[in-house]
């Protein structure tokens, strides 16, 4: 019995402390290049390259490096991460945002992945609620197009230089704001009757034109019917022409 009591009062955490999981308390946020953790070489390189562009960094969930950068220099820093030989973060896995509520700034999150180096990096930009503007990174990764539209739609962050910044998930005539903000009421701002009425006044075909989905090559229909005696030859000819047009 005394053995049991001692075991309960003094658990052995020595093996846990040496394990791969580090809590946030053990890895505090680092301010300034003097306290760069020795872990991620990209973070070290960022501190050296942009000493005034990188605000701080921390390690999240054990081994995920998060770098906070100046929103004014987002295209410069992310472009450097994309182009530089040792970094080559060529895959933009996600662009999203987080609203922590309480008037705190909205964080725009860029989740990067380097295919040649097999390394991940999370870059965050803090935007105050009264200046929700940031440069678009569609010039660096084309795939950021819809991701930034989603952030604009749900959080109201304006991306400067985006080629087609409009709503992507909510209806085009949605006028209640940006739903993923913490100050947005769960059921929206309008009554259900007004929401129903507005939903039915929209015409989906106004917003999904064939040009947006992608122009389809017009198919030659009925070409086999007119040349019944020479169906094989004419069909092959039409097919070749159609292929050339399509390419």
Partner 1 sequence: MGVDKPGVLGAGTPAFLTTRLDFVVNWARRNSLWPMPFGTACCAIEMMASAASNFDLARFGMERMSFSPRQADVLICAGRVPYKLAPVLRRIWDQMMQPKWCISMGACASSGGVFDVYSMVQGIDTIVPVDVYIPGCPPRPEGLIYGLMMVQEKIRGESLTRHGELRAEDPLAVGRPRADDQEVSDLTGPFGNSTQQNQVSGLVDTGAVGRPEDRLP
**Which of these segments, 51-59, 83-91, 135-143, 178-186, binds partner 1 (CB under 8 A)?**
178-186
Q: Report if residue 128 touches partner 1, rule: CB under 8 A.
A: no
DSSP labels for 162-185? -TT-S-SSS-TT--S--TTSTTS-
Task: Using the minimum distance from each CB to partner 1, give the nearer residue, 122 or 167.
Answer: 167
Q: Report if residue 184 touches partner 1, rule: CB under 8 A.
A: yes
Q: Report if residue 126 touches partner 1, rule: CB under 8 A.
A: no
Q: How many residues bind partner 1 (CB under 8 A)?
A: 30
Shortest approach of partner 1 to residue 103 CB, angstroms? Answer: 9
Q: Report if residue 202 touches partner 1, rule: CB under 8 A.
A: yes
Task: Using the minimum distance from each CB to partner 1, give the nearer residue, 43 or 97.
Answer: 97
Report the 3 state secondary structure along 18-65.
Answer: CCCCCCCCCCCCEECHHHCCCCCHHHHHHHHHCCCCEEEEEEECCCEE
Are 36 and 65 spatial neighbours (Cβ–Cβ below 8 Å)? no
Give dist(CA 157, CA 148) in Å, integer: 8
Integer angstrom CA distances of residue 148 from 9, 134, 166: 52, 10, 10
Tell me which residues in 158-177 interact with partner 1 (CB under 8 A): 169-171, 176
Shortest approach of partner 1 to residue 170 CB, angstroms? Answer: 7
> In the set 33, 37, 79, 188, which binds partner 1 (CB under 8 A)?
188
Task: Using the minimum distance from each CB to partner 1, give the nearer residue, 84 or 202.
Answer: 202
**Which of these segments, 34-42, 60-68, 70-78, 98-106, binds partner 1 (CB under 8 A)?**
98-106
**Residue 122: helix, strand or coil by DSSP?**
strand
The contacts of residue 125 (CB under 8 Å, 6+ apart) are 68, 69, 70, 71, 74, 107, 108, 110, 134
Shortest approach of partner 1 to residue 153 CB, angstroms? Answer: 11
Neighbours of 234 (CB within 10 A): 15
Give dist(CA 89, CA 113) in Å, integer: 5
Cα 160 → chain centroid: 16
**Which of these segments, 60-68, 105-113, 140-148, 195-203, binds partner 1 (CB under 8 A)?**
195-203
CA-closest candidate to residue 33, choices 52, 19, 15? 52
Shortest approach of partner 1 to residue 104 CB, angstroms? Answer: 9
> In the set 35, 191, 217, 219, which binds partner 1 (CB under 8 A)?
191
For partner 1, the binding residues (CB under 8 A) are 100-102, 169-171, 176, 179, 182-200, 202-204
């Amino acid at each position: 019995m005394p053995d049991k009591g001692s075991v309960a009062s003094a658990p052995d955490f020595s093996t846990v402390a040496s394990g791969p999981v580090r809590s946030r308390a053990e890895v505090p946020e680092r301010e300034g290049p003097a306290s760069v953790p020795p872990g991620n070489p990209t973070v070290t390189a960022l501190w050296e390259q942009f000493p005034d562009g990188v605000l701080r960094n921390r390690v999240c969930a054990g081994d995920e490096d998060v770098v906070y950068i100046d929103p004014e220099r987002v295209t410069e820093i992310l472009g450097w991460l994309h182009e530089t030989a040792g970094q080559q973060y060529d895959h933009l896995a996600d662009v999203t945002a987080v609203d922590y509520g309480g008037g705190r700034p909205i964080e725009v999150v860029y989740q990067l992945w380097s295919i040649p180096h097999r390394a991940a990096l999370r870059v965050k930009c803090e935007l105050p609620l009264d200046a929700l503007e940031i440069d678009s990174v569609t010039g660096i990764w084309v795939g950021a197009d819809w991701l930034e539209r989603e952030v604009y739609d749900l959080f109201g962050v304006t991306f400067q230089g985006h080629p087609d910044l409009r709503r992507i998930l909510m209806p085009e005539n949605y006028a209640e704001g940006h739903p993923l903000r913490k100050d947005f009421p769960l059921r929206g701002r309008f009554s259900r009757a007004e929401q129903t009425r507005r939903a039915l006044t929209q015409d989906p075909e106004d917003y999904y034109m064939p040009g947006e989905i992608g122009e389809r090559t017009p198919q030659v229909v009925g070409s086999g019917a007119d040349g019944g005696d020479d169906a094989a030859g004419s069909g092959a000819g039409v097919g070749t022409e159609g292929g050339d047009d399509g390419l």
